[in-house]
Amino acid sequence: KAGVTQTPRYLIKTRGQQVTLSCSPISGHRSVSWYQQTPGQGLQFLFEYFSETQRNKGNFPGRFSGRQFSNSRSEMNVSTLELGDSALYLCASSFLGGGSYEQYFGPGTRLTVT
Amino acid sequence: TQLLEQSPQFLSIQEGENLTVYCNSSSVFSSLQWYRQEPGEGPVLLVTVVTGGEVKKLKRLTFQFGDARKDSSLHITAAQPGDTGLYLCVVPGGGGSNYKLTFGKGTLLTVNP
Predicted confidence (pLDDT) at residue B24 exceeds the cutoff of 90 = yes
Residue A89: closest CA among chain B residues belongs to which residue? B42
pLDDT, tens digit (0-9, with 9 covering 90-100), for A2-20: 799 999 999 999 999 999 9
Across the interface, whether the CB atoms of B102 and A90 are under 8 A apart is answered no
Predicted confidence (pLDDT) at residue B94 exceeds the cutoff of 70 = no
Is omega for the bond preceding B81 within 30 degrees of 0, making it cis? no
DSSP state of A25: P
Residue A40: closest CA among chain B residues belongs to which residue? B105
**For residue B73, how many other CB atoms are within 10 A of its CB?**
17
Give the whole-angstrom CA distance, residue B60 versus residue A7.
35
Give the whole-angstrom CA distance, residue B8 versus residue B2.
15
Please indicate if any CB of chain A lies within 8 Å of the CB of B96: no
For residues A96 and B12, which has the higher predicted lDDT (pLDDT)?
A: B12
- Please check whether residue B104 is in contact with residue B91, taking contact to mean a CB–CB distance below 8 angstroms: no
pLDDT, tens digit (0-9, with 9 covering 90-100), for A29-77: 989 999 999 998 999 999 999 989 998 889 999 999 999 999 999 999 9
- Please check whether residue B107 is in contact with residue B10, taking contact to mean a CB–CB distance below 8 angstroms: yes
Predicted confidence (pLDDT) at residue B101 exceeds the cutoff of 90 = no
**For residue A103, how many other CB atoms are within 10 A of its CB?**
29
Assign B4 a pLDDT band (cuts: 50, 70, 90): very high
How many interchain CB pairs under 8 A, A with B? 68
Q: Nearest by CB to A107, which of B41, B102, B104?
A: B41
Assign B49 a pLDDT band (cuts: 50, 70, 90): very high
Residue A98: closest CA among chain B residues belongs to which residue? B99
Across the interface, whether the CB atoms of B91 and A4 are under 8 A apart is answered no
Give the whole-angstrom CA distance, residue B19 versus residue A93.
31
Predicted confidence (pLDDT) at residue B96 exceeds the cutoff of 60 = no
Chain A positions in Cβ-Cβ contact with residue B103 (cut-off 8 Å): 35, 42-44
- Please check whether residue B94 is in contact with residue B100, taking contact to mean a CB–CB distance below 8 angstroms: yes
Which region holds residue A70: left if phi is over 0, alpha if psi is between -120 and 50, else beta? alpha
**Best mutation target, A103, A104, A109, to test chain B (most B CBs within 10 A):** A103
Please indicate if any CB of chain B lies within 8 Å of the CB of A34: no
- Please check whether residue A94 is in contact with residue B25, taking contact to mean a CB–CB distance below 8 angstroms: no
pLDDT value for A98: 55
Chain A positions in Cβ-Cβ contact with residue B104 (cut-off 8 Å): 42
- Please check whether residue A102 is in contact with residue B48, taking contact to mean a CB–CB distance below 8 angstroms: yes
Which region holds residue B106: left if phi is over 0, alpha if psi is between -120 and 50, else beta? left
